[in-house]
A and B are shown apart, each in its own frame.
Chain A
Amino acid sequence: MNPLNFNATCPVPLTQYPHVLLAHGGGGRLMHQLISRLFLAAFSNPLLDTRHDAAVVELPGRRMAFTTDSFVVRPLFFPGGDIGSMAVHGTVNDLAMAGARPLYLSSAFILEEGLPMETLWRVVCSMRDAARRCGVQIITGDTKVVDHGKGDGVFINTAGVGVVEHALDIAPARVRSGDVILVNGDVGRHGMAIMAVREGLAFDSQIASDSAPVHETVRALLEAGIEIHCLRDLTRGGLTSALHEIAEGARLTVQVEEKLIPVREEVHAACEILGLDPFQSACEGRFAAFVAPADAPRALALMRTRNPEAARIGHVAPAAAPTVLLKSAVGTWRLLDLASGEQLPRIC
């Protein structure tokens, strides 16, 4: 008999699924479980446990923010963006969520054997241009090639560092009852843009991704002295997932109103047809800001100078148990629940 070659006192803490499902990366409840029960359980430390988009590290004389993100989007090029620009924007935005000024990025490529060199060049040029626009430099990197069929053309990982030049502590735990919730534009567009292209769904008007850097908007808020309590970018799992993360981190109730949340008509229509929820659809250039009520009008005005669709969508309230509530279009209140995994279109 083979001796046990693993530590028998530490069983795999996930019991319900013996294999990783796609849903474990979908931004819903399964992904949250994976992170909290497996990754946080194994790696726990005070910096990681803040569960912020970027970790803020005290270095001698400086506060730095550090983050990483991987990009596995298919197709590589889509209306409104591509994997290259997204890989830059995503990490720049994660740094911005800590209120940091993004400085340097790393870029690691996992390439699939057979990928046309011309395609890779287009991706690389797009990264170069996006980095230039964001004022960041790509200063280190790595390249791996996997067998044909073992990748999806290109996977990109970027890590980023930025410098924190303000004295605010921007984190979920800083959110207070009464805080006003703002978003910097319409939500759910990136997810529906990708789904429309990927599934060959033809709508009358093309849905373009919202992929964009947001650090300039954040910097404008900071420079205006807005009392920001927390920032969260709305990526996988969309607005719903972000609001849940904040509600849980702050141990408070988040209350938002359906009528106040901006959703473009074409996104709304596509979601209605497919039975999907625009609030659970991913964004790549949107964030929610939790700000002190007195500063909210000024913050919203500043956000609107950059995007007229920016909106005040709700506020934070005390809670016995943290939760997210939505006032529906007909005026009743209900839970805004996390999806289990990826959203699945309904039969009819």
Chain B
Amino acid sequence: MKFLDEYRDADLARQLAREIHRVTTRPWTLMEICGGQTHAIVKFGLDELLPPGLTLIHGPGCPVCVTPLEIIDQALEIATRPGVIFTSFGDMLRVPGSRTDLLSVKAGGGDVRMLYSPLDALKIAAENPGREVVFFGVGFETTAPATAMAVYQAAQKRLANFSLLVSHVLVPPAMSALLAVPDCRIQGFLAAGHVCAVMGYEEYFPVAQQYRVPIVVTGFEPLDILQGVLMTVRQLESGRAEVENQYTRAVRRAGNLPAQALVGKVFEVVPRKWRGIGEIPASGLGLRAAYAAFDAAKKFGLTGRRVDEFPDCQSGQVLQGRLKPHECPAFGNLCHPEHPLGATMVSSEGACAAYYRYRRLQPAA
């Protein structure tokens, strides 16, 4: 397929891998930020092509995985209320809250619907004026513009029966939080290409400078990731700590300005709790006061609750790159996709689910 097969070429992948081997003279630890990149790395076995001392750790860039338990519990509570139509992206449906998940709420009679776009929720709200329609707005900067557009249009159309349960998160504050930990092992980042397609990469320059880490904006196909690794290692080997863009076919330095303007109009930056990591200042998006009428947590009176994580789940350690998924004692026995203890086992982008799907057995020789 055009624009895809070119980026999965086995010969070019081997050439890039050879070049990475050639330039690597000592061990390095890199983190790929985005769950989509983790998925591609494990699905295509890209880490097997790297030199032994070059370690990839899997970052917190899976929106499903980092959505805090209390917001998932809020979603579950709203979805069980009579008259509510609860709408969400597909992979939030199986994420476990404290007691249940949205698919089980649906099986118990709740009206839970999977959507491809938040704008579809507006259509449902317009068609069902007697019912409350709630959209579960999760994701990084990538999905925030579409959610912002839904809220903006709802306000224009005066759709009073539409509201948003918002859990949007921002990448750069999470990177800074990881780097600020005293024993941080991360020496370079593959930044999330699609986040940068929206936001550009201006905001990474101060991070690279302050913590002396190379940051390479990287795409999602095998050749993108291998090239991103090569660019990062070249910087490390030559003592540079710069922001570079591997994903030039999608990302401009300034990003998508109309999308950023819309996000800024509807949302403001707020502190946000990340599942498995804890609260990170200025790392989330919340609705501005002008759009407070569309805030589902307020509308349903659910703000201000706190819920603790499952004690057996070490997804926080995984999300911070301190533990590989298969090193967790619960991996594959207490915790598996049919019975996930933490969200990293649920979404196909979650590091634990990616390892479970592709890595339980060593491949045959």
A residues near B (Cβ < 8 Å) are: 16-17, 19-23, 29-30, 33, 199, 201, 253, 255, 265, 268-269, 272, 274-275, 317, 321, 323, 325, 328-335, 337, 340-341, 344-348
Contact = CB atoms under 8 A, between A and B. Distances in A.
The binding surface of chain A is classed by DSSP as loop
A93 B31 CA distance: 49
A21 B103 contact: yes
B339 interface: yes
B43 A334 contact: yes
Given A22-B103, A348-B142, A335 B1 contact: no
Nearest to B2: A265
Interface string B95-116: 0000000011011100000101
Contacts of B363: 325, 332-335
A332 B44 contact: yes
Contacts of A331: 10, 13-14
A321 B93 CA distance: 32
A16 B339 contact: yes
Given A17-B104, A345-B90, A346-B89, 15 more contacts: A19-B104, A21-B103, A29-B338, A30-B338, A330-B9, A330-B46, A331-B13, A331-B14, A332-B44, A334-B363, A335-B363, A340-B338, A344-B91, A345-B89, A345-B116
B337 A347 contact: no
Nearest to A346: B91
Nearest to B356: A337
A345 B104 contact: no
B63 A347 contact: yes
A330 B44 contact: yes
13 contacts: A19-B107, A19-B108, A20-B107, A30-B338, A275-B348, A330-B13, A330-B49, A332-B49, A333-B364, A334-B44, A337-B356, A347-B64, A347-B143
Nearest to B92: A347
B194 A330 contact: no
Nearest to A30: B338
Given A21-B107, A334-B363, A348-B143, A328 B90 contact: no
Contact of B361 (A16, A321, A344): A321
User: Which of A16, A201, A274, A329 has the most chain B CB within a 10 Å cutoff?
Assistant: A329
Contact of B45 (A199, A317, A332, A345): A332
Interface of B: 1, 4-5, 8-10, 13-14, 36, 42-46, 48-49, 63-64, 89-94, 103-104, 106-108, 114, 116, 138-140, 142-143, 194, 222, 337-339, 347-349, 356-361, 363-364
Contacts of A333: 45, 363-364
B89 A334 contact: no
Contact of B10 (A16, A321, A330): A330
A332 B364 CA distance: 10
A330 B89 CA distance: 30
B94 A335 contact: no
Contacts of B63: 347-348
Contacts of B108: 19
B364 A317 contact: yes
The 9 A-B pairs of least Cβ separation, nearest first, read A332-B45, A333-B363, A344-B90, A345-B90, A337-B357, A330-B13, A334-B358, A329-B8, A340-B337
A335 B108 CA distance: 34
Contacts of B358: 334-335, 337
Contacts of A274: 116
B63 to A, nearest CB: 6
B222 A329 contact: yes
A334 B91 contact: no
A317 B348 CA distance: 28
Contacts of A272: 1, 4
User: Which of A330, A331, A337 has the most chain B CB within a 10 Å cutoff?
Assistant: A330
Contacts of B338: 16, 29-30, 33, 340
B355 to A, nearest CB: 10
A348 B89 CA distance: 10
Given A334-B359, A344-B93, A329 B142 contact: no
Contact of A268 (B1, B116, B138): B1
Nearest to B89: A347
B230 to A, nearest CB: 15
Nearest to A264: B1
Nearest to A319: B364
Contacts of A347: 63-64, 89-92, 138-139, 143, 347, 349
B114 A328 contact: no
Nearest to A340: B337
Contact of B91 (A265, A328, A345): A345
B198 to A, nearest CB: 10
Contact of B194 (A19, A265, A269, A348): A348
A268 to B, nearest CB: 5
Given A344-B90, A345-B89, A348-B142, A23 B103 contact: yes
B194 A29 contact: no
Contacts of A341: 94, 103
A348 B142 CA distance: 7
A346 B10 contact: no
